[in-house]
Amino acid sequence: MSLPTCRLCAAELTRTFVDLGMSPPCEAILDADQIDGGETFYPLHVRVCPSCLLVQLPAYIPAEEIFSHYAYFSSYSDSWVAHARTFVDRAVQRRGLGSGSFVVEVASNDGYLLRHVRDRGIRCLGVEPAANVAQAALDDGIDTEICFLGEETGAGIAARHGRADLVVANNVFAHVPDIVDFARGLRALLSDDGCVTIEIPHLLRLVEGREYDTIYHEHYSYLSLLTTARVLAEAGLTVVDVDELPTHGGSLRTWSVPAESAGEPTAAVRKVLDDEAAAGLHTLDGHAGFGAAVAEVRNELVEFLIECSRKGATVAGYGAPGKGNTLLNHCGVRQDLLSFTVDRNPFKHGKFLPGTHIPVHPVERLAEERPDYVLILPWNLRAEIAEQLSYVRDWGGRLVVPLPALDVF
């Protein structure tokens, strides 16, 4: 059997970063009439390229199968909407955007970010492949093209709407199997004096925080600043600045411009690259050892849940994020250890998590059932969710996060 090849440089992927076994697609939430049927599980075997060091999951599932109809709506996270507003404020100031400017967001979801652009009187356009999610943006008056971005579609959009002063791609760069074609699509959308901003979960923080639940089939690449810059360079874009962000357990926001107009990068770029090098991420051998860290996370959570079961304590979940499904399936957690979970997204109510078949209820179910512990699956939103769930203490309940280390509080 031939080995998969790198999506950036085409080298054979001979080295394992981490192998999480088999798992169903993380957003393939089930209806009640599906739970007695079969499910397809795919490998979660992440490799690191021995040549260019891109950490990647082979495209076991085509992007069209995952993203054409999507269960995630960004507007259901208050902190994420606030994050978008803060970004728009900064980008407008930094790039001097005004009424004559044009902003395009790729993977614009339900318009959660572009509504802040629109409300400033700036022309904007979303590009979103999931028709069901894009419809929410259209209903809100956000002009949206429903398609996957690549060099060809990017050129077509630019021909119809003009080229953008700012192109935004938040938490999508890792979601595309042909990452080079996607980067070229970003360049096709951009004016020659414009800027592309990309937000990505940072591989350095994933390793440091043992954040393996961010590995799932819709995340095809796990990016450092080094590998991000290498991909963008293939599209004629140069990273000139970077922000370190707390989102998603630790992220980067890169600011890139056409290579022909790029000056010297800022000190922030050198600082992040130095941090990555110090952690070993600029060498192949420096990527070793993550599997042992993952096993420790699994053992901590499973031992806690088994102990709760032994003493008759009840545990429910909060949230039904994709990352939670990676965690629960890898740990072998089923309804006997986690009786149910709740979510603010009504799209998921009355349905069941893939693989584990744990039922999803409205948030009000927590107050009805009064579990002893509530496991926060979107742990990266710990502060926001802990505030929302402060009432759990009214009946003596406690909150739990599984990562970066198990914490009961």
What the block records as the tokens of 135 is 């419809």
Tens of pLDDT, residues 14-59: 999 999 999 999 888 999 999 999 999 999 999 999 999 999 999 8
State whether 336 and 280 are in the same domain: no
State whether 302 and 215 are in the same domain: no
Tens of pLDDT, residues 203-244: 999 999 999 999 999 899 999 999 999 999 999 999 999 999
What single letter denotes the amino acid at residue 177? Answer: P
Measuring CA to CA, how many Å separate 259 from each of 76, 191, 262, 385? 37, 12, 5, 42
Which pTM was predicted?
Answer: 0.88
Residue 144: pLDDT over 90:
yes
Q: Which residue has the higher pLDDT, 322 or 162?
A: 162
24 lies in some domain: no
How far is the C-alpha of 394 from the C-alpha of 374, rounded, in Å? 13
State whether 319 and 304 are in the same domain: yes
How far is the C-alpha of 3 from the C-alpha of 108, rounded, in Å? 34
Q: pLDDT class for 67, splitting at 50, 70, 90? A: low
State whether 347 and 228 are in the same domain: no
Contacts of 270 (CB under 8 A, 6+ apart): none
pLDDT confidence of residue 83:
87
Cβ count within 10 A of residue 245: 17
Sequence length of the chain is 409
DSSP category for residue 310: H
Which parts of 128-262 are beta strand (E)? 144-145, 164-170, 190-201, 221-222, 237-245, 251-258
- CATH code, domain carrying 178: 3.40.50.150
Domain containing 302 equals 291-408
DSSP 318-356: E---HHHHHHHHHHT--TTTS--EE-S-GGGTT-B-TTT
State whether 166 and 298 are in the same domain: no
State whether 79 and 152 are in the same domain: yes
Q: How many domains, in total, are found in the chain?
A: 2
- CATH code, domain carrying 318: 3.40.50.720
State whether 226 and 309 are in the same domain: no
Q: pLDDT class for 76, splitting at 50, 70, 90? A: low
Tens of pLDDT, residues 327-375: 999 999 999 999 999 999 898 999 999 999 999 999 999 999 999 999 9
